[in-house]
Structure 1
Amino acid sequence: MQIVNKAVVFESGHEEYAVPIQSVISIEKVNFINPIPHMPLYMRGVTKAREDLIPVIDFESVLYNRSLAGEEARLLVVQTESLQIGLLVKDAKEIIDIPQEALKQMGIAAYEKTKYFIGVAAFSDRLITIIDPDILVSSLEGIKDIQEYMKQNKLFPA
């Protein structure tokens, strides 16, 4: 299991999730998302964050097959091995320290559709599912099409 010391916590559905801090570039308010036709439902489009155009993935759509909307939506800009993405999440709310003894393996982590869940931070009053953004991005159906679209339209360097 990947070592996670600090993580950015956010909500999706009524659950708490976290991404290791070393993957997070920034947390932004959502301004405008330019839709891209014929993309998977989870792909909301592209937006500008810190002068870069990045694809926006609706995390609510990935997990629960429903779109996230509302004032509390935030864009978690994350660097993965293959590309920079924006995860549209509900209320990215804190950065936490995760002691190694609080990090537990997930029994369902081997399940094909949630292999990006790499563990659970188990505290006395809450459980936070830890996500590996590299595995998340590589597991999304159609991600290669999105990368190709971004390259063809010169939205990010090859």
Structure 2
Amino acid sequence: MSEDQKIVVFQSGSEEYAFPIEHVMSIEKVTTINPIPHLPAYVRGMVDIRNELVPVLDFEQILYGSPAKVEDARIIVIQTEGLFSFGVMVKEAKEIIDILKDQIKQVSLLAYSQTKYFTGIVHLEDRLITFVDADILVQSLGGMKEIEAYLEETVKV
């Protein structure tokens, strides 16, 4: 018997992606993002979410090289295994759905070194949803280790 898994489906560009729900802390409307100079282009800046400073990554910038439009965008706040929180700005947070774990298919293109954070694809009727591993995403982006270290230091103060 296959096990159910809940996923948060979101849109970036014209494609659908998903994070496993156990990594999603909240979904927020985009408010004021405070830009920080000299950060990588994919980091939009920092936001204060429930008295916690959270870096915001622009998923469209990461995937397509162009910044997302802020109006109507959402921030999906993710908790990584290292207890590091970050926001992912997406075009639209669409829904939370249940899938069976055996519906997640591995595709050889997912092994490409530039997109290691894509860990599988779910094919549902007329939809393809690409799985994103938040931990691998953070580890694969240049500059994120420094941002994580900075945030850990500010928490200690």
- What is the TM-score when the length of structure 1 is the normalising length? 0.91
The question of 1:79 aligning with 2:97 is answered no
Runs (4+) of structure 1 exceeding 3 A deviation are none
Residues 39 and 133 of structure 1, relative CA distance in 2, 3 Å threshold = same
Tell me the residue number matched to 1:37. 37
In structure 2, C-alpha distance between the alignment counterparts of 1:11 and 1:65, rounded to whole Å:
16
Task: Name structure 2 gaps, 5 residues minimum.
Answer: none
Q: 8 Å contact 2:30–2:70 — kept in the other structure?
A: no
Amino acid at match of 1:74: R
1:67-146 alignment, distance < 5 Å: 67-82=67-82, 83-146=84-147
Amino acid at match of 1:61: Q
Residues 135 and 148 of structure 1, relative CA distance in 2, 3 Å threshold = same
Amino acid at match of 2:124: F
For the residue of structure 2 that corresponds to 1:98, the secondary structure is strand
1:142-157 alignment, distance < 5 Å: 142-152=143-153, 154=154, 156-157=155-156
For the residue of structure 2 that corresponds to 1:61, the secondary structure is helix
In structure 1, C-alpha distance between the alignment counterparts of 2:101 and 2:6, rounded to whole Å:
10
Computed over aligned residues only, the root mean square deviation of the Cα atoms, in angstroms, reads: 1.6
Tell me the residue number matched to 1:18. 18
- What is the TM-score when the length of structure 2 is the normalising length? 0.92
Q: Which whole-Å deviations, capped at 9, do the CAs of 1:13-54 have from their partners, x for residues lacking one? A: 100000000000000001111111111000111001122111
Q: Could you tell me how far 1:98 is from its partner in structure 2?
A: 1.1
Amino acid at match of 2:148: Q
For the residue of structure 1 that corresponds to 2:36, the secondary structure is coil
Residues 4 and 157 of structure 1, relative CA distance in 2, 3 Å threshold = farther
Equivalent residues, number: 154
Q: Which whole-Å deviations, capped at 9, do the CAs of 1:52-96 have from their partners, x for residues lacking one? A: 111100001110001011422000000012310000011101001
In structure 2, C-alpha distance between the alignment counterparts of 1:48 and 1:10, rounded to whole Å:
22
For the residue of structure 2 that corresponds to 1:137, the secondary structure is helix
Residues 4 and 113 of structure 1, relative CA distance in 2, 3 Å threshold = farther
